[in-house]
A and B are shown apart, each in its own frame.
Chain A
Amino acid sequence: MEVPDQRVPAATFEELALPLFEQLYNFAHWLAQDASEAEDLVQETYAKALRAFSGFQLGTNFRAWMFRILRNTFLTSRTGLKSTSASEDEVETIASTAPNPETVLLERADREMVRQALTELPVPFREILLLCEVEEMSYEEISQVLVIPVGTVMSRLHRARKALRALMVEKFEGAPHGV
């Protein structure tokens, strides 16, 4: 492929993109649930982003753009296609069984339990929670990554949190007493 003339020197791309490496990998691993698949995703993301960098729009959030490329790469991968087709129905069921807030819940929750619950969440819920809580993205940034309106970000985030809570309550009820 020909290198487009107006491209920004690679050093610039590297300076912007490399600091995101660990975050992108963490996100990729959460999506794919597999280390070597996550590695492939991250490599492909960097390759795609470098090629597309000349088309990167001024005023666009670079981090959101990188995450968007990673996510699209995942969604079109074999694991990604499988994960999204299965999750649509699950999503509604999980969210509708959520109980009321319980402060004690999290006092007793350990990190492993939260991780397990996150793993079990369908991808649309898992990814939005990771972007919001781990990456600390604003609603606007999340809307850029997921390519959905801000209003949808808010409603999906709300349902994702309810679903996570429901899963955690389920785990507590399943756990032996005194845990």
Chain B
Amino acid sequence: MACDLWTAKLDAYVDGELSSLDAASLAQHLRQCAGCSADALERVQMKRAVAVAGKRYQPSAQLREKIQQSLVKRGRHEGSWVWKIVALPATLVLVLSLAVSLYVDHEKTLRQRVYSELTDLHVATLASASPVDVISTDRHTVKPWFQGKIPFSFNLPELQGTDFTLVGGRVSYLAQSPGAHLIYRFRQHEISVFIYQDRGDATAALASAPVSMLSFTVESWTKNGLRYFVVGDVGAQDIEGLSKLLRDAG
């Protein structure tokens, strides 16, 4: 397929609106085509820039109060208590289904937000002059380096006989909580492994199935109170390969 046919789909792609089949083949193309991937990156940057710039106006506390009061006032003028009981089942259904759909929306954006934050971290780290603060292929050097820097410890897998090598690590933050960011190399690709304490809130909502975002695959799971994320621009089976090694070690 020619590049201009892909270009036509890039907007829908960066907006997360392509079917998973289309998204997968486009991701495949982005991995091989510098032109299209630069284009995609530029669109993502534009989205981010607008998202940041667009959060601009804060309402006053007085306005909030005014609106809150207007709602309460109407509440008091509500009809008799009888209709409330009569209408209860319908009301309950409405409220429940609304709550569910709002919850699902919320979960979806939450997950997108966490994943895009992690892919950002992954890209930004690799693009920086010194991606890692501890450089070592030896897990016995990397693991103790984190002692005293983050509030937990973790185990790293033995990589002998696999295609993965450890590059090093650094401290990273997700929603203000410190964690470990490890970088692995797989053939010509870098893969990031993020480990944070599982706080059961934001991170718990994340599905364990690998998810493709832009040209990245993300896999996530929890083990022994820790939340793991594996992010890289390699295929899902390779992400899964490293994930399995980590799960077995942890």
Binding site for B on A (CB under 8 A): 3, 5-14, 16-18, 21-22, 25-26, 29-30, 35, 38-39, 42-43, 46-47, 50, 56, 58-59, 61-63, 101-103, 105-107, 109, 111, 114-115, 118, 129-130, 132-134, 136, 138-139, 154, 157-158, 161, 164-165
**A29→B83 CA distance, assembly (Å):** 38
Q: Are A29 and B79 in contact (CB under 8 A)?
A: no
Q: Which of A18, A103, A161 lies in contact with B68, CB distance below 8 A? A: A18
**A105→B45 CA distance, assembly (Å):** 10
Q: Which residues of A contact B138 (CB under 8 A)?
A: none
Q: Are B91 and A10 in contact (CB under 8 A)?
A: no
**A47→B70 CA distance, assembly (Å):** 8
Q: Which of B12, B55, B71, B78 lies in contact with A26, CB distance below 8 A? A: B55
Q: Which residues of B contact A35 (CB under 8 A)?
A: 57
Q: Residue B77 at the A interface, CB < 8 A?
A: yes
Q: Which residues of A contact B83 (CB under 8 A)?
A: 5-6
**Contacts A58-B94, A134-B55 hold; do A129 and B50 have CB atoms under 8 A apart?**
yes
Q: Residue B49 at the A interface, CB < 8 A?
A: yes
What are 27 A-to-B residue pairs whose CB atoms are below 8 Å? A3-B79, A5-B79, A6-B90, A14-B71, A16-B102, A18-B68, A25-B63, A30-B54, A30-B57, A46-B71, A47-B70, A50-B74, A58-B94, A62-B98, A103-B42, A106-B46, A111-B49, A111-B53, A114-B53, A118-B54, A129-B50, A132-B15, A133-B47, A134-B50, A134-B54, A134-B55, A138-B16
Q: Output the least CB separation between B127 and chain A (Å).
A: 12
Q: Which residues of B contact A105 (CB under 8 A)?
A: 42
**A114→B12 CA distance, assembly (Å):** 22
Q: Output the least CB separation between A148 and chain B (Å).
A: 15
Q: Which residues of A contact B94 (CB under 8 A)?
A: 8, 56, 58
Q: Are B97 and A43 in contact (CB under 8 A)?
A: no
Q: Are B87 and A133 in contact (CB under 8 A)?
A: no
Q: How many residues of B contact A (CB 8 A)?
A: 53
Q: Output the least CB separation between A169 and chain B (Å).
A: 12
Q: Output the least CB separation between B16 and chain A (Å).
A: 8
Q: Are A129 and B54 in contact (CB under 8 A)?
A: yes
Q: Fill in one digit per residue for B36-70: 1 if any A CB lies within 8 Å of its CB, else 0.
A: 00110111011101111111111110011011101
**A50→B60 CA distance, assembly (Å):** 21
Secondary structure type dominating chain A contacts:
helix
Q: Are A133 and B50 in contact (CB under 8 A)?
A: yes
**A134→B51 CA distance, assembly (Å):** 4
Q: Which of B42, B52, B105 lies in contact with A102, CB distance below 8 A? A: B42
**Contacts A103-B45, A164-B50 hold; do A50 and B71 have CB atoms under 8 A apart?**
yes
Q: Output the least CB separation between A143 and chain B (Å).
A: 12
Q: Are B75 and A14 in contact (CB under 8 A)?
A: yes
Q: Residue B204 at the A interface, CB < 8 A?
A: no
Nearest residue (CB) in B for A13 is: B71
Q: Are B72 and A46 in contact (CB under 8 A)?
A: no
- In the A-B complex, list the 4 residue pairs whose CB atoms are closest, starting with the nearest: A10-B75, A134-B54, A29-B57, A114-B53
Q: Which residues of B contact A132 (CB under 8 A)?
A: 15, 47
Q: Which residues of B contact A102 (CB under 8 A)?
A: 42
Q: Are B42 and A154 in contact (CB under 8 A)?
A: no
Nearest residue (CB) in B for A59 is: B97
Q: Are A115 and B53 in contact (CB under 8 A)?
A: yes
Q: Output the least CB separation between A74 and chain B (Å).
A: 14
Q: Which residues of A contact B17 (CB under 8 A)?
A: 138-139
